[in-house]
Amino acid sequence: MDEPLPARPGSRLAVLGSPVAHSKSPALHRAAYARLGLDWEYSAIEMTGDRLAAFVDERDASWRGLSLTMPLKQDVLPLLDEVDELATLTGAANTVVFDGGRRRGFNTDVGGIVRTLGESGVRSIDRGILIGAGATAASALVAMAELGAREVRVLVRRPGSADPLGVLGRNAGVAVDELPLAALGELGEGDGELVIATVPGGTDLGVAPAAALVAGAALLDVAYDPWPSPLGAAWLAGSGRVVHGLGMLLHQALLQVRVFVHGDPFTELPGEHDVLAVMRESVR
């Protein structure tokens, strides 16, 4: 028999970001709380960094927490009383829980990436390729480190923009090399077993991936709307292995639900297998 859920103050939650109207987070979270028997509200609120501090300050005791998407994962850090190890390492928090007057921040993106890749059979790598250098790229780099990567090539449009990831790589035990985005058309099978793209959905990279790379590396494109992304379409056209970005969203959301319910991303939910199943069904 499942243990009863702990009593928690606050029953209001929301995902914040810009743009946020397309977000599937409300569907995922509402499905989870309904399955858990919790009468909690979860909405989507358009939010920019310049308004974030005032918004957070105005939350009253009816609020349990927030999910954060672009461009707020870094902006929220100065507003928090404490952050978990992954949020500290990556410099990005996608989850805030209001807990006894304290604002606690977490990064569930790393776990979401690792879990969806594992579900797709990608459980260890030696070399990785990362497209983009923003907050989600930081989480992707740490996820690659957790999978055992020794080297990660970061492909960017603007020279020098991967410098912060170089610092992060040293802290995570991964050698990071910056390459121009055009290298996507030149890299081959031996350059990496996994490619993670972290650029916004619909972005045209302006370069086609090399056929040898498509044949030899799995692609996780964290963008899920529209789907397939231009890069995902190129991978599918070459009969490459593609991991849908919805998987990352699903698994990071499950970890967020753990945080909102238990205050801890490592404590499983009652009937978690069923919770995950209804969440998955909500975004099919």
Are 166 and 138 in contact by the 8 Å Cβ rule? The answer is no
Range of the domain at 57: 12-109+247-282
| Domain CATH for 78 | 3.40.50.10860
Q: Is residue 252 part of a domain?
A: yes
31 pLDDT more than 80: yes
* Mean pLDDT confidence for 221-241: 94
Confidence band of 15 (pLDDT split at 50, 70, 90): very high
Residue 208 shares a structural domain with residue 132: yes
Give residue-wise pLDDT tens across range 241-266.
Answer: 999 999 999 999 999 999 999 999 99
213 pLDDT more than 70: yes
Structure tokens belonging to residue 41: 């509200």
Residue 82, strand partner residues: 104
Residue 140 shares a structural domain with residue 100: no
Residue 257 shares a structural domain with residue 205: no
Residue 97 shares a structural domain with residue 148: no
Give residue-wise pLDDT tens across range 271-281.
Answer: 999 999 999 99
Residue 203 shares a structural domain with residue 221: yes
8 pLDDT more than 80: no
Confidence band of 1 (pLDDT split at 50, 70, 90): very low
Say what the pLDDT of residue 10 is.
83
Residue 169 shares a structural domain with residue 255: no
Residue type at position 252: Q
Say what the pLDDT of residue 4 is.
63
Residue type at position 175: A
Residue 278 shares a structural domain with residue 206: no
Catalytic annotation, residues: 73
| Domain CATH for 140 | 3.40.50.720
Give the DSSP letter of residue 208.
P
Say what the pLDDT of residue 3 is.
63
Q: Is residue 115 part of a domain?
A: no
Q: What's the half-sphere exposure (Cβ side, CA atoms, 13 Å) at 86?
A: 28
Task: Write down the pTM of the prediction.
Answer: 0.95
Phi, psi of 14 (to 5 degrees): -160, 155
Residue 216 shares a structural domain with residue 176: yes
Q: Is residue 102 part of a domain?
A: yes
* Mean pLDDT confidence for 141-155: 98
Mean pLDDT of the chain: 95
* Mean pLDDT confidence for 126-152: 97
* Distance from C-alpha of 69 to C-alpha of 84, rounded to nearest angstrom: 17
7 pLDDT more than 90: no
Total domains present in the chain: 2
* Mean pLDDT confidence for 137-165: 98
Q: Is residue 271 part of a domain?
A: yes
2 pLDDT more than 70: no
- Beta strands 102-106 and 95-99: pairing type? antiparallel
Say what the pLDDT of residue 71 is.
83
Cα 92 to the chain's mean position, in Å? 10
